[in-house]
Structure 1
Amino acid sequence: MNFLYPGFLFALLAVLIPVIIHLFNFRKFKKVYFSNVSFLKEVKEQNSSREKLKNLLILAARILAIVFLVLAFARPFINSNSETNKSTGNIVSIYLDNSYSMDAVNKEGSLLDEAKRRAKEIVKSYQLNDRFQLLTNDFEGKHQRLLNSDEFVRAVDEVKISAANRNLQQVVNRQQGVFTGTANRFAYVISDFQQNFAGNEAIKKEQSTQLALVKLSANELPNISVDSVWFLSPVHQPNTSEKIIVRLKNFGSEEAKNIPLKLIVNNQQKAIGSITVAAGATAIDTLSYSGLSLGWQKGVLSIKDFPLTFDDELNFSFNVNANQQILSINGNSTAKYIEALFNADSYFKLTSVSENNINYAAFSNYSLIVVNGISQPSSGLAQELKNYVANGGTVVIFPSTTADLSSYNSFLTTLNLPSVAGLVTESTKVSQIELKHSLFKDVFETLPKNMDLPLANRYFTYAESSKLAKEPILQLPAGKTFIARYPTASGQFFLAATGLEEKDGNLSKHPLFVPLMYKIAFESAKDQPLFYTISKDNVITLPSVKLGANQSLKLIGDGFEVIPDINHQNGKTLLYVADQIQKSGFYNVRKADSTFAVVAFNDNRTESNMKYDSQAELEERFGSQKIHFIDVKKENVLSAIAEKNNGTELWKLCLILSLIFIAAEILLVRFFSPQMHK
């Protein structure tokens, strides 16, 4: 048996008090005069042996009452935790889950309020000199400071629901980062333990950390969230009709019928609808609207769903441009076909240059570059095009069939494209069109049985490699490439087997040429993501922004201002937001009074799934690692912690025994009679 406060054992000297009282409590006899000895028959004789027995029993009761009272204050326990050294003190890290799911309500009130009470109970189970860390999803710098018990309680009272989202491994790593020295290391995680919180991967902790999971009693609630939105068209033009795709997700176990949808753009209602979502499934709907003006648009898609409402709105932003910039790099007398194509539509703004007069620095200003029949492709051009595609650009290559093959092969190899195997001068008709490719979506209303396809009079054959990702678009007989797409990590190449001159074939005059190039141009439009998720390491990409010596870009929205880290790369300006944005909404990217972009942020949808891990599932994540699991529905937090940290505590038993012996003393004094009649 051990003692939590062995210093109190010095109080056992108090047992000398009843001993001294017993030794010096001599009875004083009083003289009584009487006239007749017959009165002696009326006197009760005192039995000396019974008197001694009574005094000894009273002495023993008093001694034992004092002994057990002192032991109760010394906190005796039977140690079942060999990992704890009581002399080194304790550092206690307590994680308080303040995610959106903790805003749910059970019979104890909101889960966050219950979590606060449990955190305070944990602190009470430790000593005044122990140090405490309060950790929440916000991962603020002040959470790395150790507090005393009073400071900790005040900090707990200030915790509020946060949009930040963490997983259990991140929490454990953060808690272990605060432990220093030889003090005992205790970590507590107070949470409802949503399934997304623990995740599916194994969780690792340091052996010296004694981790306890405090699971709150949460109810599984039905919930519908606006999961995502996207457009059918990659470009947005003013005063045209558009369609937006909406995806909703049902996290409940029952079908959600006729969920109302509402689309608002720039504070104007543009469309309404309703959708039914099966249990545990997603559903997609399409909303049509029109009447957009030039500039940045702020869209909000909303539904009505109770009781959880944090995921009932989705913010998104997009830009309506007056035109799209396209660059055509031309060989001798090949510009007329591309110019005729794109100059026919005022939305496209074409810049046409000779292969001998290229401004490489301006490449980042264009969403599409067409390499059109150049005869002398240089290594410098190849390298610049490679960098352009690596940053998300799109390049279409129509080769010159009269150029030197070795120079073209060197050019294509630099671009990681297949090299030219040979030149074919026999007329050959395209044999196959990949109608399922996204470029041909909505191009054909009906498909004729014998479709007229382009003819090639002169064309290259390519030495294909299985190492290159390839998407055939138009193919010649025997599976030879006529036009194919080669995607890269960020951008894409479109490689044709022939040029656009009449001697090469009829591609430039074929009806398929116009929709094919327009679709390529539309898909090459480089637009920023419709929305970002808060509390993530987001990188916002903008066209190059020139800043003065004392200038900076700011994100401003709803009374909140952030100055992000800025980096300039390959003609772009990158804004590193990290986790600075903590509130959903719209933020203007501004330099002084100029607005360069509008970005939308939304809450993380991982909190939408109101299902929880069981004790067995949580213990499985830790494998053979020791953890202590506390279910507040089944056990008292204080008792569970005391038993875990100190073993089986005996102070309550000692206190009860002390009271029993005090009661025994009282009974002995009042009811034990040492006298008898004679």
Structure 2
Amino acid sequence: MQFKNPEILYFLALLIIPIIVHLFQLQRFVKVPFTNVAFLQKLAQQTRKSSRIKKWLILGTRMLLFTAIIFAFSQPYFSKKTANKKQHNFIYLDNSLSTNTKGERGNLLQIAAQEIIENSSEKDVYSLQTNSSFYDRITKSELKNILLQVKETSKNLDLPTVLLKFDSKTESKTNTTNRTILISDFQNTYKNEFTNVTPLISAINLESSIKNNISIDSVFVTDYNGNNFTLNVLVKNQGEAKNNIPVAVYNNNKLISKLSSSFKKDTLETIQFKVQNQAEFNGKIVINFSDTFAFDNVFYFTLKNDQKINILSIGNKANFLSKIYTKNEFNLTQSTVQNTNYNSILKQQLIILNEVENISEILSKKIIEFSKNGGSLVIIPHKNLNINSYNSLFKNLSLGKIQPKKTDSLKITNINYKHPLFQNVFSKKVTNFQYPIVQHYYPFSSNNKSTIVAFENGSSFISQIKNGENNTFWISSSLDVKNSNFINSPLIVPVFYNFGKMSFKHPKLFYRIASENTIDIDTNIEKDKVLKIANSKNSFIPLQKKFQNKVSITTKEQPLKSGIYSILQNTDTIQKIAYNYAKEESLLNFLDLNKLKETNQNITISNSVADVFKKINKKNEVHWLWKWFLSLAIVSLLLEILILKFYKP
């Protein structure tokens, strides 16, 4: 038994007063003279004894009366928690795309929200975290209004972030009891997130009734020519084999091609479509099949044929450049220093200074202007360069300093596989590589240098120097065949190809929602104007940087819905881009909560939202006893009245 107001019990000490009064009270008897009292002696003794019993009975009933009243005011109760403590329930409701599927009783997300509403207590305080919002210290009515409007979202939260948020909002006051409730399907990303859990957590697993899923993983284009291209669609099948699944390709809303395909158990297979080449293709791929997730049965992509990267090579003519920078992807121009059109420099995305012996002042000024406006620069030194003219350019670009030439036969042995230039180039580290050799090179010192490829002595062969908007690649040796055989190495193609691709980030076939994406738009906008991204339902202004000949936009938090969006300059569409949901949301990989329970004793596992809330409410239920003590006081009072009225000693 517990007491809400235990300090009232101190008044029990006052019960000693009536006891003392009773024990020490002296009752005086009046003497009445009689001639003969011998016959009254026995009656007098009996009356005095009966009177003493009556007084003890009255004392007992009054003691019971006051005791019951004191206990009633102290408000005794039975409960597993202290009555004056508030119950604060922290609830995480996972409303990611994967929870918007069917369970045994209906849509997982909707049923979970409804059961929270039906089983939450009016007396408790709630904090609700969804993947998109956090609501702190709300009542049940406020919680109900929020849950009635909750929708699935492409945003995702990891559990450490959720638990950290709850921990920061947990009150350290002694009159508050906190409870954490995690409601989720605990999909793949939650692995090993509960190590050394200390707070009490109720984990409620939302489980789909369907155990198979087919999804469009990605797309890519091959065999691209003037008339046709091959669209490769990667389809991921999870679960049992599936036969005759219809797959359709649309351009906008026009059906382009359709076929039926079969998929083996747990495989990733490629479906190919021959598509007629068009100037602009706003594609949509649709799989008509009912499975666990519906959102991944539609995939969007865009394709524009006139997007090419402008590259200008100044200096010696190099045949290997024309082989790498093909006409279907690049506009390559090669010119000598004397024949260079300086007015065209600012229209380029990449400039290659290919073994220029002396960098003139006018060329240096144009290169500086080009670089500071966001252009990319590749510098291949002449074997007998004018080191002062090079260092003058480097100084103005804050790149570093070139050291005098060193004559030393060195192998190119080290590759920085983690550098963005080699992203998706190597499937694994190369060990049987035929190392290129250089006869002499120019060492380079810089505080902002990152090495891409290095010599066997550790010094840089190819470096990237990024300083503000400047993006410069320095190759420390001439690529003349008499000095180096690097142009015959397999590295030459990915290195120079990605120099071009990194110089201007044309829109890809598609982008992923909730990932950071950078897109360069070949346009000029006024100083107080911005580009906007929109479709028929949503619009937003992305983060963007303006340069002289382009605008670089970055998206991450937006958009939240998949589809094809337009990049707008005022009201004019200058580019179409496609967004799709993260493919991790389609995986049927879930955390085994039973194994988790074995290593974390503070976690309770359940499959029912209603059961968890009922247990919490029952545990927090208070059984008040003050009414019984008040009833006992009334009974004591009635007993005293009955004794006084009917007990005649």
TM-score w.r.t. the length of structure 2 is 0.63
Distance 1:503 1:628, change over 3 A: closer
Correspondence for 1:369: 351
CA–CA separation in structure 1 for the residues paired with 2:111 and 2:147: 11
Q: Could you tell me whether the CA contact under 8 Å between 2:301 and 2:510 is conserved in 1?
A: yes
The reply to whether residue 313 of structure 1 matches residue 279 of structure 2 is no
Which of 482, 506, 509 does residue 530 from structure 1 map onto? 509
**Amino acid paired to 1:316:** F
Q: Could you tell me whether the CA contact under 8 Å between 2:564 and 2:576 is conserved in 1?
A: yes
Deviations 1:57-116 (A, max 9, x none): xxxxxx9xxx9xx99xx894353x6xxx64252333322222233232233222123202
Deviations 1:13-69 (A, max 9, x none): xxxxxxxxxxxxxxxxxxxxxxxxxxxxxxxxxxxxxxxxxxxxxxxxxx9xxx9xx
Q: Could you tell me whether the CA contact under 8 Å between 2:91 and 2:183 is conserved in 1?
A: no
The reply to whether residue 2 of structure 1 matches residue 2 of structure 2 is yes
Distance 1:188 1:375, change over 3 A: same
CA–CA separation in structure 2 for the residues paired with 1:324 and 1:572: 12
The reply to whether residue 291 of structure 1 matches residue 266 of structure 2 is no
Same amino acid, percent of matched pairs: 21
Deviation at 1:174, TM superposition (A): 3.7
1:325-340 matches, within 5 Å, as 325-330=310-315, 334=316
CA–CA separation in structure 1 for the residues paired with 2:497 and 2:169: 55
1:378-457 matches, within 5 Å, as 397-404=379-386
Q: Could you tell me whether the CA contact under 8 Å between 1:369 and 1:394 is conserved in 2?
A: yes
2:84 aligns to what SS in structure 1?
Answer: helix
Correspondence for 2:217: 227
Deviations 1:394-450 (A, max 9, x none): 6555543343468779989997999786579x9xxxxxxxxxx99xx9xxxxxxxxx
Which of 186, 193, 201 does residue 194 from structure 1 map onto? 186
Which of 552, 562, 565 does residue 587 from structure 1 map onto? 565
2:113 aligns to what SS in structure 1?
Answer: helix
1:118 aligns to what SS in structure 2?
Answer: helix
The reply to whether residue 302 of structure 1 matches residue 277 of structure 2 is no
Which of 70, 95, 105 does residue 92 from structure 2 map onto? 95
Deviation at 1:246, TM superposition (A): 2.6
The reply to whether residue 559 of structure 1 matches residue 537 of structure 2 is yes
Deviations 1:170-216 (A, max 9, x none): 333344455457362535445342332523345687x6x64322233
Which of 125, 128, 131 does residue 134 from structure 1 map onto? 128
Deviation at 1:488, TM superposition (A): 8.5
Q: Could you tell me whether the CA contact under 8 Å between 1:557 and 1:588 is conserved in 2?
A: yes
How many residues are treated as equivalent by the alignment? 533
Q: Could you tell me whether the CA contact under 8 Å between 1:532 and 1:538 is conserved in 2?
A: yes
Correspondence for 1:172: 163
Q: Could you tell me whether the CA contact under 8 Å between 2:345 and 2:370 is conserved in 1?
A: no
CA–CA separation in structure 2 for the residues paired with 1:164 and 1:5: 48
RMSD: 5.8
1:439-518 matches, within 5 Å, as 460=440, 468-470=451-453, 493=473, 495=475, 498=478
CA–CA separation in structure 1 for the residues paired with 2:161 and 2:439: 57
Correspondence for 1:629: 604
Distance 1:200 1:288, change over 3 A: farther
The reply to whether residue 610 of structure 1 matches residue 585 of structure 2 is no
**Amino acid paired to 1:309:** A
**Amino acid paired to 1:241:** N
Where in structure 1 are there 5+ consecutive unaligned residues?
Answer: 10-62, 427-436, 442-455, 473-477, 659-678
Q: Could you tell me whether the CA contact under 8 Å between 1:119 and 1:190 is conserved in 2?
A: no
Distance 1:113 1:138, change over 3 A: same
CA–CA separation in structure 2 for the residues paired with 1:197 and 1:75: 48
Distance 1:203 1:527, change over 3 A: farther
Q: Could you tell me whether the CA contact under 8 Å between 1:531 and 1:599 is conserved in 2?
A: yes
Distance 1:373 1:155, change over 3 A: closer
CA–CA separation in structure 2 for the residues paired with 1:651 and 1:172: 35
2:157 aligns to what SS in structure 1?
Answer: coil
CA–CA separation in structure 1 for the residues paired with 2:209 and 2:147: 24
**Amino acid paired to 2:521:** L
Which of 127, 140, 147 does residue 149 from structure 1 map onto? 140
Deviation at 1:602, TM superposition (A): 1.5
Deviation at 1:598, TM superposition (A): 1.9
Distance 1:181 1:264, change over 3 A: same
CA–CA separation in structure 2 for the residues paired with 1:544 and 1:75: 77
Q: Could you tell me whether the CA contact under 8 Å between 1:225 and 1:248 is conserved in 2?
A: yes
Correspondence for 1:598: 576
Deviations 1:503-545 (A, max 9, x none): 999999x9x9x99999678756632333233345555443464
CA–CA separation in structure 2 for the residues paired with 1:651 and 1:3: 9
Q: Could you tell me whether the CA contact under 8 Å between 1:251 and 1:608 is conserved in 2?
A: no
Distance 1:516 1:164, change over 3 A: closer
Distance 1:146 1:286, change over 3 A: same
1:580 aligns to what SS in structure 2?
Answer: coil
2:295 aligns to what SS in structure 1?
Answer: coil
Q: Could you tell me whether the CA contact under 8 Å between 1:392 and 1:526 is conserved in 2?
A: no
CA–CA separation in structure 1 for the residues paired with 2:582 and 2:495: 38
Q: Could you tell me whether the CA contact under 8 Å between 1:260 and 1:274 is conserved in 2?
A: yes
Q: Could you tell me whether the CA contact under 8 Å between 1:96 and 1:135 is conserved in 2?
A: yes
**Amino acid paired to 1:368:** L
Q: Could you tell me whether the CA contact under 8 Å between 1:251 and 1:280 is conserved in 2?
A: yes
CA–CA separation in structure 1 for the residues paired with 2:404 and 2:230: 42
Where in structure 2 are there 5+ consecutive unaligned residues?
Answer: 10-63, 410-420, 426-436, 632-649
Distance 1:634 1:145, change over 3 A: closer
Q: Could you tell me whether the CA contact under 8 Å between 1:231 and 1:243 is conserved in 2?
A: yes
Correspondence for 1:246: 233
Distance 1:326 1:633, change over 3 A: closer
Which of 151, 156, 162 does residue 153 from structure 2 map onto? 162
CA–CA separation in structure 2 for the residues paired with 1:110 and 1:357: 66
Correspondence for 2:638: none
Distance 1:423 1:260, change over 3 A: farther
**Amino acid paired to 1:243:** T
1:279 aligns to what SS in structure 2?
Answer: coil
CA–CA separation in structure 2 for the residues paired with 1:179 and 1:506: 65
CA–CA separation in structure 2 for the residues paired with 1:327 and 1:369: 5
Distance 1:285 1:460, change over 3 A: farther
CA–CA separation in structure 2 for the residues paired with 1:154 and 1:146: 14
Q: Could you tell me whether the CA contact under 8 Å between 2:91 and 2:127 is conserved in 1?
A: yes
Distance 1:255 1:573, change over 3 A: same
2:558 aligns to what SS in structure 1?
Answer: coil
CA–CA separation in structure 2 for the residues paired with 1:290 and 1:531: 19
1:144 aligns to what SS in structure 2?
Answer: strand
Distance 1:403 1:485, change over 3 A: closer
